[in-house]
């Protein structure tokens, strides 16, 4: 690129990087400010030009498109930063929703901050937040984990790590793996309340909430699934969340010297956790030791 290049600033947008949220399905779910920013930017960088062109064409946005995705990011990032340093206002969009949410862009934003480049946010649609708001599960605190691992063993370990997390869990999942994942949820987290939010804002939007077992039955008999989906899982019950590794370790030590009933009673007096909860955990630990 010629270092003497001067960018036009069609509506005199300040130079910088503009993080622009775009619709997750329904093209009408875009803000006036997002449209104006995309029209006035010097260049729009996107993941897939074919997909982004549909949105731009719908709103008669003629701003040039560039590609920025996980396969070319290392190469493109220095060029993009140089353009901004020369005065460009550059917009970054993803295929759908808010950029950087399980999409490339984190390093670009980080390097902009390191270089003293202004970063602007143009907020809008986000599938995890839309799904959470419509799930009926607690929304005051939550954890978003992106995509779970594709391999069953790794997926189970990732879920097991969240067993005592007391707040709503949110993951992206594919239709092909949904029943597998739900089966792993049942095995590792138990028969909790879950919600599957599918095809959000689109013609065949479906938001279904029930227990894990009921959800497995529902999707096993409902035929081939299509479309993008968000899986939400209720957090651990408050008492369950208290069964930390430290509590389990203390319970295990007590079981080495006293009966199951005595161990659960003693630890209940110390921690305030109900005896029944600790007794059930003690039985689980005893069974585990017997199997080893």
Which residue among 79, 104, 124 closes a domain? 124
pLDDT of residue 232: 98
Q: Name the maximum alpha-carbon separation found in the chain.
A: 81
Q: Report residue 232 CA to chain centroid gap.
A: 10
**Residue 255 DSSP one-character state:** H
150 and 232 fall within a common domain? yes
The residue to which tokens 């729009």 are assigned: 44
The count of other CB atoms within 10 Å of the CB of residue 164 is: 18
Q: What is the pLDDT of residue 4?
A: 47
For residues 152 and 192, the answer to whether their CB atoms sit within 8 Å is no
Q: Are residues 24 and 92 in the same domain?
A: yes
Query: Residue 238 has what pLDDT?
Result: 62
CB atoms within 10 A of CB 100: 14
Asked, for residue 9, whether it belongs to a domain, the answer is: no
Q: Give the pLDDT score at 246.
A: 80
Residues 152, 68, single domain; the answer is no
pLDDT of residue 3: 44
Q: How many domains does the chain have?
A: 3
The answer to whether residues 213 and 179 touch, using CB atoms and an 8 Å cutoff, is: no
Q: Which domain holds residue 165?
A: 128-237
Same domain, 139 and 202: yes
Q: What is the CATH number of the domain that holds 173?
A: 3.30.950.10
The answer to whether residue 10 sits within a structural domain is: no
Query: Which stretches of the chain are DSSP H helices?
Result: 32-40, 49-58, 73-85, 106-114, 127-135, 152-160, 178-189, 212-221, 238-241, 245-255, 260-271, 275-291
Coil, helix or strand at residue 35: helix
CATH number where 60 lies: 3.40.1010.10
Q: What are phi and psi of 248, to 5 degrees?
A: -60, -40
Cα–Cα dist 67/92, whole Å: 10
In this structure, the answer to whether residues 176 and 272 fall within a common structural domain is no
**Weakly modelled stretches of the chain, pLDDT under 50:** 1-4, 6, 9
| Exposed / middle / buried, residue 249 (Cβ in 10 Å: 0-12, 13-18, 19+) | exposed
Write the burial class of residue 102 (CB in 10 Å: 0-12 exposed, 13-18 middle, 19+ buried): middle
pLDDT at 269: 81
Assigned domain for 4 exists: no
Q: Across the strands, what pairs with 171?
A: 231
- The verdict on 134 and 192 lying in the same domain is yes
**Alpha carbons 135 and 207: distance in angstroms, whole number:** 7
Give domain status of residue 211, yes or no. Answer: yes
């Amino acid at each position: 690129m010629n270092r003497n290049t001067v960018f036009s600033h069609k509506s005199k947008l300040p130079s910088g990087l503009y993080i622009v949220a775009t619709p997750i399905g329904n093209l009408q779910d875009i803000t006036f400010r997002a449209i104006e920013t995309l029209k006035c930017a010097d260049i729009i960088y996107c993941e897939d030009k074919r997909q982004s062109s549909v949105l731009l064409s719908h709103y008669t946005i003629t701003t040039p498109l560039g590609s920025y995705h996980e396969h070319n990011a290392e190469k493109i990032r220095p060029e993009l930063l140089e353009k901004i340093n020369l005065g460009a206002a550059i917009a970054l969009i993803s295929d759908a929703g808010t950029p950087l949410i399980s999409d490339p862009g984190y390093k670009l934003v980080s390097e902009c901050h390191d270089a003293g480049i202004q970063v602007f946010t143009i907020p809008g649609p986000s599938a995890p937040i839309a799904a959470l708001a419509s799930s009926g599960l607690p929304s005051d605190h939550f954890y978003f984990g992106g995509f779970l691992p594709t391999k069953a063993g790794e997926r189970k370990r990732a879920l097991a790590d969240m067993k005592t997390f007391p707040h709503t869990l949110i993951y992206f999942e594919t239709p092909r793996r949904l029943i597998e994942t739900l089966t792993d949820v049942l095995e590792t987290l138990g028969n909790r309340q879950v919600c599957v939010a599918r095809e959000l804002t689109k013609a065949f939007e479906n938001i279904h909430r029930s227990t894990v077992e009921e959800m497995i039955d529902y999707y096993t008999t409902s035929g081939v699934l299509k479309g993008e989906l968000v899986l939400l899982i209720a957090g651990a019950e408050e008492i369950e969340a208290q069964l930390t590794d430290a509590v389990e370790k203390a319970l295990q030590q007590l079981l080495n010297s006293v009966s199951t009933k005595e161990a659960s009673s003693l630890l209940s007096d110390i921690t305030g956790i109900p005896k029944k909860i600790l007794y059930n955990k003690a039985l689980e630990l005893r069974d585990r030791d017997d199997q080893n």
